[in-house]
Amino acid sequence: MVSFPPLLLLLSLSKYDQLPAFRVFQSDGEKIRLGSYLKFSFFAANQQIMKKLFITIIIFAASMEMPAIAQDCKYFKEGKDKVTGEPFKESRNVVVKTYAFQLRKDGATKLSCNMDISIYGTSTYSITMKDTLYLKLENEEMVKLVPDKVYAPTKSAGTSGVLSRYMPTYKMTKEMLEKLAASPISKVRLSLENPVDGPTKKAEAQAIMKAAACLLVD
């Protein structure tokens, strides 16, 4: 921890007794000791200065935690977008069942969230802007994510039959990311043809919380 010697308070107030200004004045029959007034003014001013200095130290100490978080950040993918050339960072974790949940940051400020959902069987249902993804956090906060457009499923052959795959992108704001960084996800509701409700595994919830914190500072 950084130590700031209180130089302002180490100044000896007794030295003001030696100032030429420390004289006795007569005013309306009352004696005013100018030196005592100077002492009081000096002390009051220092209280305000030290208060501001204390607040500055607290802010500085908090900001020093951010590089520590950033140095420990690891992503599922990171690099440069092939089209725009902008750097990107992307995490990938399981949020419910086997469905992947990805947080992404493009450039310095653009945030998004993606899901990778594979369901056995042939589905004709399309995810629309009405299909909100609900993330309930342990601190009782709720994050509601809305798809940015309509997503129809793609079909592929799996080991046990046909797979219908959805890869929707959800709108994400800094405020939402801050909520995800503040508390783990406890429960999820995924709006599909047959809505999916379920808990998030503790390890995955912690990993998502850390990824959100990393994207905020990295």
Query: pLDDT per residue over 94-108, tens digit each?
Result: 999 999 999 999 999
SS3 for 205? helix
Straight-line distance from the first to the last Cα atom of the chain, in angstroms, rounded to the nearest whole number: 24
- The per-residue DSSP string of 103-140 comes to EEEETTTEEEEEEEEEEES-----B-TT-PEEEEETTS
Nearest-angstrom CA–CA distance, 173 and 110? 8
Number of other residues whose CB lies within 10 A of the CB of residue 88: 17
The Cβ of residue 49 has, within 10 Å, a number of other Cβ atoms equal to 13
pTM of the model: 0.66
For residue 52, name the pLDDT band (cuts at 50, 70, 90).
Answer: low
Measured between alpha carbons, how far is 84 from 110 in angstroms, rounded to an integer? 13
Distance CA 1, CA 135 (A): 38
pLDDT per position as a tens digit, 86-142: 999 999 999 999 999 999 999 999 999 999 999 989 999 999 999 999 999 999 999
Q: For residues 178 and 209, give the distance between their C-alpha atoms in angstroms, rounded to a whole number.
A: 9
pLDDT of res. 158: 75
Residue 35 or residue 86, greater confidence: 86
Neighbours of 2 (CB within 10 A): 7
Q: What share of the chain in percent tops pLDDT 90?
A: 58
